[in-house]
Amino acid sequence: MLRALDLAERGKYLAAPNPRVGAVIVAEQGGISSIVGEGFHPRAGEPHAEIFALRDAGSATRGATLYVNLEPCCHHGKTPPCVDAILQAGIRRVVVGTQDPFPEVSGRGVLTLRNRGVAVDVGVCERQCRQLNRFFFSVYKRGRPWVILKMAMSLDGKIATRTGDSRWISCEASRKIVHDLRAEVDAVLVGSGTVLKDRPRLTARPTDLLPHEFRQPRRIVLDRRGRLLSNLDCIRDIHAAPLEIIVGRDVVPGDRDMPVKVTQWPLENCASALEDLLQYFAGENIQSLLVEGGQEVATSFLEAGLVDEMFLFIAPMLIGGRDAPSLFGGLGADCIENALPFKEMTVERIERDILVRGRLADLP
């Protein structure tokens, strides 16, 4: 199963909105069990991992065992059901990492195989399997995308100077990780203040991937007052990736021909508006959202309890200044007991920086 997970990871840049799936077929040859076929799902519309593994194994599938990190599908989508191909190949046993949360599959794939005499084990390395597909599970279990908050701060907790300068707190190696993360998620979100101040591209520019090996994330800007509608030149490379500006319900977009999508939303009621907005994003095939805004946007998502995972880059510098913005504003916790705890935290040295990564929410 660990090999299946490694294979599934290869689909992290292009498989969405489908899950990341890897498959391994093991058969006994000459009294020794060995891998005879393997595969992964490369992108939506192409065959699933099980099909690639069956093709790779050829005639060795008869009586073999299939390991797959997610329950095989049993419905007709863009591709035929994998369950049918597994049965036709003569697979004797299927080991499944975790059940598929997709309603048309959930439990039915396993039941179909068992009803046709195939031995099925479910729940092997289940936590790792859910972690790998946390974006996919989030949408089908919670109805909203998995939200990742990325921030960079100094040792004294500042995300910019008192004048608003923040380029660059994190080092180049840290920024490379962020570009890889942008290439992995479906959308990147910032506030209009960040756009007006920094004139960002908000595109993914990973150095280790060719343009056809990843998708540009959808770019989303929260702009309650509609300030960007007359300042679109603040977004560089405006045609490089889809761009959506979320404005307040009182903002009139106008009839101008703009290369962006403008959506009105009641942003004034922040917590409930953000939760409803995430449900809207889920309906737009956004399973993962990277929030890169400043203090105001970060605080809004944190106070609403909508941050699932965090990447925090800490740079070896002291900025100081009582008016310099810190990571987290708002009222904050009233006592230590109510502070937001990191779960399964990891700490990594990235050249001069330290990357602290952890979850604020349980896996769906």
Write out the catalytic residue numbers. 50
Could you tell me if 152 and 160 are in contact, meaning their C-beta atoms sit under 8 angstroms apart?
no
**Which tokens in the block code for residue 312?**
């925090």
Kindly report whether the peptide bond that precedes residue 168 is cis, defined as omega within 30 degrees of 0: yes
Could you tell me if 145 and 136 are in contact, meaning their C-beta atoms sit under 8 angstroms apart?
no
- Site of tokens 């077929």: 25
Angle at the Cα of 188 from the Cα atoms of 233 and 150, rounded to 5 degrees = 115
**Which tokens in the block code for residue 180?**
């890889």
DSSP string, 42-83: -STTSPPHHHHHHHHHGGGGTT-EEEEEEPPP-S-SSS--HH
Cα separation, 158 vs 170, in Å, equals: 12
The 3-state DSSP class for residue 34 equals: strand
The 3-state DSSP class for residue 343 equals: strand
Q: Extract the runs of DSSP E, i.e. beta strands, from the chain.
A: 22-29, 32-40, 65-70, 93-98, 119-122, 146-154, 187-191, 218-223, 243-248, 261-265, 288-291, 309-315, 343-350, 353-359
Cα separation, 363 vs 134, in Å, equals: 7
- CA 268, 285, 307, 222 torsion-angle sign: negative
- CA 194, 198, 199, 202 torsion-angle sign: negative
